[in-house]
Each structure stands twice: as structure tokens, then as C-alpha cells.
Structure 1
């Protein structure tokens, strides 16, 4: 139930382990509809996907873009400048990811049905119902007492937008306005388009009048505020569906993910704050672990119990870190009187991962020669992992490699 990354990748993973399974994916939206713009992930997920299903992993990699470094830009009355984090990551459009997974699932014999509604009170007759119907899961809500669902709503309003500015790194931009601070998290999604998540405190949201503006009418105001960071480019509200809307993040956890023959996966089971960028990765790992458990244990109830206990234990630390990250951005005013380098360091240790040498590494990262050396090291490491997977290296945005299109 649900044709997102969790549902589609579970169907792929289960079919690969036993082609005799009869699997139906029921999705209420049409194939071209998807919320949001791009998803971000790291090299470890590519390694995991290649071990599980090289066919779809190669397609995911081929449609991805590579970004390098993270920039933290602060523009305010006290300080104005940019700080840096190292590292690199990958992004691809959410629509492209769903298309890749849908095609792969169908090629394995999965029956994927779009524009199909299902009543949680009258679920289809099946050996197993995998509820992958998102953070607002109707199936989970209909059994909330059994699952022991807990929902914590964040304080800050945010809106998930796109922009036609092509960023080549992961950018955090913080802008001071007369009503207070407002910021975005941006990263490339696919050629020519970047994802741009705008967030602010409730006080700033009200002070700028964003609470009274239609979400689409707010776009010109946000473009004006972020004019320098966007370099004059536009923000985009509509992706392939309804206009983006302001919302507050819901942190969802459950005491158990299993109720009889119904099991939760992906955002229906758990959410992690968007500042961690792990939602898609965790959903696809849920799918693999569940498929593996069902193949490993002949008794389905034993398999579901193993999946439930194993994944909930693994996610405990991740969800705790996500709550800390969300809370840090809700207390942003406590840190924005610092210079950009000190502010960026506070952001980097917001989950409490602070070792004695980390600050010195952070200071070194601000030196251009050190950043160039780290990029060269990352490039070598990336090429090694790509070759080990049998792939041609993915070029940085704006560059091309011989033999790769």
C-alpha cells in the first residue's frame, strides 16, 4: 500500500528473493504525481543498492547528480560571510527515482496500480499488507492504538520549493530580515533544477506576513529575500502536483511496526527531520530488511517480529539525532550572533557528535588549499568505489567524462 520508494523497493527486493511471490502495489496518485523535488543520498546507499539489485542501482546512479562540499552562508547586520563543510553526496529527482523503481518492479512481474484507492477498514485479502503510505498513513492511523503511534510536531514552519538555480554544492543560506531570520537548505536535484527548503521561526513567519499570504503568493517575497543567494533565479512552487504548502514537521515513531499481517515501512513507520536528508535511504533499507527477513524465516510472523525489532533498534539513534537537529534549528537565534565559521561549527555538532579534534578539522576546512586537497582525496575515493561497483565515475555538475552521457 503506497507506491513510494519503500513500497516499490520492497516489491523489487521480495521478487528477487522469490519470483513466485504475487505482489500488488496500490498507489492513489497518478504515475506523474510526486511531492517535492529531489532526494539526497550518500555513497553508502549506492553500495547497499548495488549489493541488493545492481540493475536498479545502475539506473539510480545514471540519473543522479554529484555535489561536492557544503556551504554555510550568513548574511546579517553583525556578520556576513561563508563557512564550509567537506564531503560530497548525490541527488536525483524524486519523479525519476519513482519511475526507475516502477519500471524495475514491473519488469520483475509486480502489478503496480496507480490512481487506486483502498479503504483502511477494508484492506485487500492478502498474506501480507505492507503499509508504505507515507507520514500521513491512513492504515497506521486506523490502528494507531495498536502501533502505539507517537507524533511530535515541530515548531518551525517550512515549505518545500524548487529553484532554477543550479547549485553545485549543498547550500545553507541564512538571511536576516526586519522580522527575524529565515533560511533555506538547497541542493541540486537534476540538471537545471535544485531543491530549496525554506524554514523560519513562527515569529518571523508571522512578522513577514507569510501566514496571511497564499503559498504561491509568498514566492515573490521569498525570491526578494534570497535574491543574493539565488543569484536572481526563480523559486518554483509547483512540481508535478499541487502547489507547495507551508507545514510543520511531524516526527513519527511507533511502539511496534506490526499488527497481525500488517507491517509498516518508510515514513509510515518513522520520520526523520529533513535537515538529516535520510528519509529515502531509510525507507529503502526498511524494504530490503523486510524482504530479507521474509526470505530468511519460513514463519511470516517470526520474520515480521525480526524485522520489527531489528529496524526499530537500528533507528533509535537516528531518530534521536533527528529530534536534536530539529530542536537546534528551532533555537537558531541562540547561535546567529556568532561569526559564520563559529556558527557553522555549532551547526555541525548539533547532534552532540563532538570529538576533541573536530574543531581543528573544521578550522582547517576553511582554508582553500585544504579544501582542494580534500576534494582530490574524495575524488580518488569516489573513483575507487565506482570502479569496484563496475560503474563509470559520475562527473561533477557542469563537467563531463569521456564515454559517459
Structure 2
């Protein structure tokens, strides 16, 4: 089976992890700050807070921005459920903005229309979470302009997008957002096994997220309510969580970050080749928003169902049965039973639902060989009955 995604672990990565195992620190040592520095060095952001998952990063980002009961968080329906759930964790209400049918990201035009209506109904969002699906940046300048007009904070969910660029600058620099979140799950571009990070240019937000990832506990006397009792003393000043990243994960991340540019360049070579090999098939190829450079975590095609005899499911199942590990990113969040119990229903976000009926993620990982790619295309042609 050719997988849709796969990490690369080389001896350098193994040696980095072994060095931690042989050190004095398995957690809360020097590797987590080193990994955070690699992220700020790459992106240009002022601060990075490494945590145990991107879900945790989204949660503490929402909390740091003051999201709470009675507030609204808006995101896109085409994302993993964590992009919406983070609002529910804070007691907020969640709503969605339909996608742009070309980029599959949150549509800035639809966002503006929804904001105008929300302003009339006095229910503007406190936080908006645009998601850089597949690694392609959203139209962040437009979204930031709307944030300034309507007064909401922005969390970029860049779980797919490390190594990407917007207007020539690295995704994660927070030029157009308050906080950016990365994921380091094994199928992502860079992995720490499990892990995530929240980046920001705000010292205040960074300090808040630093507290929230570790029980709300501090040894920093400047944050304490009374003078320290001694070297052993700490205070809990927030209700925080155990969201810390381990030294083992961070060491792997430091090693992986040295190859980030190579990873993304390889994905772009593969995508260019896919574009050429699939050009004559009855599928829609990925669109690239001008002024952006995708991290290319995923390569998603859409089936032209009017030109083939098989259904979406039949194509998907046939590909898997023939050794092609395709996937589908994502099931629209508003169609999940948990969200339908809140009142969401089919028809609410038609572009997202149309996308779901046609989308398939083809294998895309930087170690993929041309022979593997040729096999993916050969099987796809056969399944689509294009010979």
C-alpha cells in the first residue's frame, strides 16, 4: 500500500532522541526551548510555545485571547474537528464560514457577508480560525482587514502549512494574525511524533500560553502575588493544563527542522509532476492562490463525476483495493452528529458539501518515488476507465 502520508526518520533524528535518553532531562530541559527557537528562526515570529499537540495549541490560543462562555468562534467546515472543538472547550459557541470553491479555504467574501449580518444581529465572533488546508495559505490580508473592521482576533490554523509562504514571507510570522498554530503529527511535513506549537508576536499572549500549557504554575517571581518563600517555591496563578512537549519530541523536532526546506521542495516537485501526469484526466487539480507558496501537506483532486461512470465512493474504494492509500480531507465538521445536535444541517455550507462529494487526497510525502507516483496515476487512470 502506498500511504497518503509518511514521515522520514533518519539516523540524525534517532541520534538526537538517543542523546536525550542518555541525558539528565526527559522533560522540561533544554531541547524544548531549542525547538521553539528553530520555529521562531524559521518564521520570524517573536515567540513560540511548544505543546503536545496542535489541538492543545488551539485550546491555549483561544484561552489566551479570552474566548469564553457567550463568545463566538468561527472557522471553516473543511478542517479537522479540532479547529472548531477548541471553541467549545472554552464554553464558546461555534459557527462556520463556507469555503472558496477554488482554494477550499475559508472564503473571505463569504466571511465579510456573514460578518455584516452578524453585526446587525449583535453576534460578531471574538475569534476567527482560518485553516490553511493542504498547506495553502488563506487570503490572510483580506481576513486581517475584516478583523480590523469588525474587531475579532485571528488564530491561523497552519497545521498543514509549515514551510509555506504568503506574500514571500514564511507562514507563522503572525503578520496578519494574533497567533499561528502548527502541527507535528507524523503525517505532517515536520514531525515530533505528536506535538504542536503556538506562535505569536505578543509577549503577553506568549506568557499566558506558557502558563496555560503547564498547569498555570510559575516560578517567575514577577508573576507571583507574594514574595517567594525560597528556591522550592512556585505559585499557580492560572487554571492551566498539562500540555507540555517532552524533550524527546523536541529533540526530534530540532533535527527535523534542519530539513524543512528540503521536505517542502520535494513535495513541490511531486505536485508539479502530478499536475502534468493528471492533466488529461476527468479531475480538478489543486489551485494555487497567487502570492502564496503552499507547504503541500496534501495533494487533493476533485472528481468530475459527470464524466466518469463510477461514484465517488467506488473510485475511493477501488484505489484502496489496488494498493493506493488515498484519504479524504475532510468531512465537513457541521455534518458530524455532535454538531448536528447543535442545529447544523446539510445545506448550510453548500461549497463545503460539494467539495466533500468529490474530493480525494492522493499520496503525497517527500520520500515518494517517481515509480510510486507513476503507480498512483496508473491505478487512477484504470479506475476512472481512462486508458
TM range (shorter): under 0.3
TM-score using structure 2 length: 0.27
So what's the TM-score if we normalise by structure 1? 0.26
Bigger fraction of residues in strand: 1
